[in-house]
């Protein structure tokens, strides 16, 4: 079963809007613009799409998208609410499953989010009623975290990061390496919101603490925009406009218990810890063979813990792994080659898929990873849900 989805589906189209802070558009308009560009990239027309996977809450409902795109025969529609920022990468698995089973031929996955102009995470509990937040986390936060002043991701991921820092003696230079690599790569990405805005180690170390252990520059951006991915079967992908990118391995994982971040026996055992070995096994690839990694980067410390979950280094050793430019372009394992959530824009993980696709097509110009053959994308969300896809050209 572990190889059942290997290379069955391919990414054949990607597209996105501009990434901004402040917008006159709606998330629907943005999702449609990104979808149109992804369809054009794939050489497909809207009526070729018969499956839609959207991250409900972060993209319009599949029915709304289909109505606007003029899709007459929608056969497979998923509004995936599970896992927050893990949902986009998990959507690759959902689409691959539908395509492999013959439920749909061509699947569109748009993600649109106005995290700057729309609902801001920091408004949880004030302008946003937590008890109406979909999924399990709203109720937990409202009843047991928020009365004590812990209610945004920087707070609950901070619990995990503090444990990690204290347990392994992680120095600030380790998360700084993540922030600096993301920024360096953003300078090479015309779409990146932070392009041209320098960040030095000194800037990082002097940036104010938001919530210990997170400094400002450990935290991702809030931006407006959308991106979209089009997938089809490996067979049909041979006729696509651009070189197909194969979904060689995919998996999702959920830590236990998934509805109470604080209660985990080992807080650094995340969803990805369970998911990663399955995806590598499915793909027949080892972590050492990766040419690049687009790791979900809501916070720098989360990236360190994900690197260990991926198995590119051992538990507690990510701080050493990221030193000396190893995770920058030209290093052993370039991370976040587009700048990530930290320095490009916050598309809830979907732009990581877009970037990985372009890297494997070798369309990335001055930020191209030389001879990129295989890469990994991860998702992370809610209380540590994880998803992973191993992609190859």
Residues within the interface to other proteins (CB under 8 A): 122, 125-126, 130-131, 139-140, 142-152, 155, 158-160, 162-163, 166-167, 208-213, 257, 259-260, 262-263, 267
Neighbours of 143 (CB within 10 A): 11
Rounded-to-integer distance, Cα 70 and Cα 50, Å: 11
Dist. CA 335–CA 322, nearest whole Å? 10
- Name the minimum Å distance from CB 40 to other proteins: 41
What are the strands of the beta sheet with 385-392, ordered from one edge? 76-79, 51-54, 106-114, 224-233, 9-16, 245-253, 385-392, 374-381, 292-294
Report the run of H or E that residue 357 belongs to, with start and end.
Answer: helix 350-361
Nearer to other proteins, 126 or 286 (CB): 126
Task: Give the shortest CB-314-to-other proteins separation in angstroms.
Answer: 21
Q: Please identify, using beta-carbon distances, which residue of 189 and 211 lies nearer to other proteins.
A: 211
What are the φ/ψ torsions at residue 49 (nearest 5 degrees)?
Answer: -80, 130
d(CA 154, CA 162): 11
Nearer to other proteins, 145 or 193 (CB): 145
DSSP per residue, 108-121 = EEEEEEETTTS--G
Considering beta carbons, is residue 3 or 129 the nearer one to other proteins?
129
**Could you tell me the smallest distance in angstroms from the CB atom of residue 66 to other proteins?**
34
Q: How far is the CB of 120 from other proteins (least distance, A)?
A: 10
In the bound complex, what is the minimum distance in angstroms from residue 260's beta carbon to other proteins?
A: 5
User: CB-wise, 167 or 324, nearer to other proteins?
Assistant: 167
- Choice between 138 and 249, CB closer to other proteins: 138
| Shortest distance (Å) from residue 130 CB to other proteins | 7
**How many Å apart are CA 331 and CA 323, to the nearest integer?**
10
- Of the pair 65, 130, the CB lying nearest other proteins is at 130
Give dist(CA 22, CA 152) in Å, integer: 22
Closest to other proteins by CB, 211 vs 233, is 211
ω before 213 within 30° of 0 (cis)?
A: yes
The least distance separating other proteins from the CB of residue 336, rounded to whole angstroms, comes to 25
Nearer residue to other proteins within complex by CB, 131 or 200? 131
- Say how far apart CA 387 and CA 85 lie, in whole Å: 9
Q: Which is nearer to other proteins, 40 or 210 (CB)?
A: 210
- Cβ neighbours around 208 below 10 Å, total: 7
CB of 83 to other proteins, least distance (A): 19
Nearest distance from C-beta of residue 281 to other proteins, angstroms: 28
Rounded Cα gap, residues 18 and 40, in angstroms: 17
Q: What minimum distance in Å lies between the beta carbon of 131 and other proteins?
A: 5
8 Å CB contact between 347 and 226: yes
| Lookup result for tokens 């572990």 | 2
d(CA 234, CA 180): 37
40, HSE (Cβ side, Cα atoms, 13 Å):
8
Distance CA 83, CA 275 (A): 13
Q: What angle do the packed helices 173-186 and 300-310 form, to 10 degrees?
A: 100
């Amino acid at each position: 079963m572990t190889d059942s989805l290997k290379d069955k589906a391919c990414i054949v189209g990607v597209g996105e809007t501009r990434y901004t802070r402040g917008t006159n558009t709606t998330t629907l308009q943005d999702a449609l613009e990104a979808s149109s560009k992804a369809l054009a990239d794939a050489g497909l027309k809207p009526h070729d799409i018969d499956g839609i996977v959207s991250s409900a809450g972060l993209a319009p409902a599949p029915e709304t998208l289909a109505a606007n795109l003029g899709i007459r025969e929608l056969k497979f529609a998923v509004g995936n609410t599970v896992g927050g920022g893990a949902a986009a990468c998990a959507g690759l698995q959902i689409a691959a499953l539908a395509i492999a089973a013959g439920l749909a031929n061509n699947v569109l996955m748009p993600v649109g989010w106005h995290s700057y102009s729309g609902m801001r995470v920091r408004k949880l509990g004030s302008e946003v009623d937590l008890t109406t937040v979909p999924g399990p986390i709203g109720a937990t936060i409202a009843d047991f975290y928020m009365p004590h002043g812990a209610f945004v991701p920087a707070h609950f991921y901070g619990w995990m990061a503090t444990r990690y820092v204290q347990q392994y003696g992680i120095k600030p230079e380790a998360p700084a390496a993540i922030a600096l690599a993301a920024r360096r790569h953003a300078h090479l990405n015309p779409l990146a919101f932070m392009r041209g805005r320098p960040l030095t180690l000194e800037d990082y170390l002097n940036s104010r603490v938001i919530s210990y252990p997170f400094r400002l520059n450990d935290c991702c951006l809030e931006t407006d925009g959308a991106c979209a991915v089009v997938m089809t079967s490996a067979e049909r992908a041979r006729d696509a406009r651009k070189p197909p990118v194969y979904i060689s391995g995919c998996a999702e994982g959920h830590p236990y218990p998934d509805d109470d971040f604080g209660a985990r026996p080992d807080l650094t055992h995340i969803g990805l810890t369970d998911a990663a070995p399955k995806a590598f096994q499915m793909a027949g690839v080892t972590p050492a063979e990766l040419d690049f990694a687009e790791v979900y980067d809501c916070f720098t410390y989360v990236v360190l813990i994900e690197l260990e979950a991926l198995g590119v280094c051992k538990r507690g050793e990510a701080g050493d792994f990221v030193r000396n430019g190893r995770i920058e372009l030209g290093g052993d394992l370039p991370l976040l080659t587009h700048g990530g959530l930290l320095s490009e824009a916050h598309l809830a993980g979907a732009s990581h898929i877009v970037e990985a696709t372009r890297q494997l097509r070798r369309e990335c110009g001055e930020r191209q990873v030389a001879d990129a053959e295989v890469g990994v994308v991860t998702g992370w969300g809610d209380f540590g849900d994880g998803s992973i896809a191993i992609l190859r050209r």
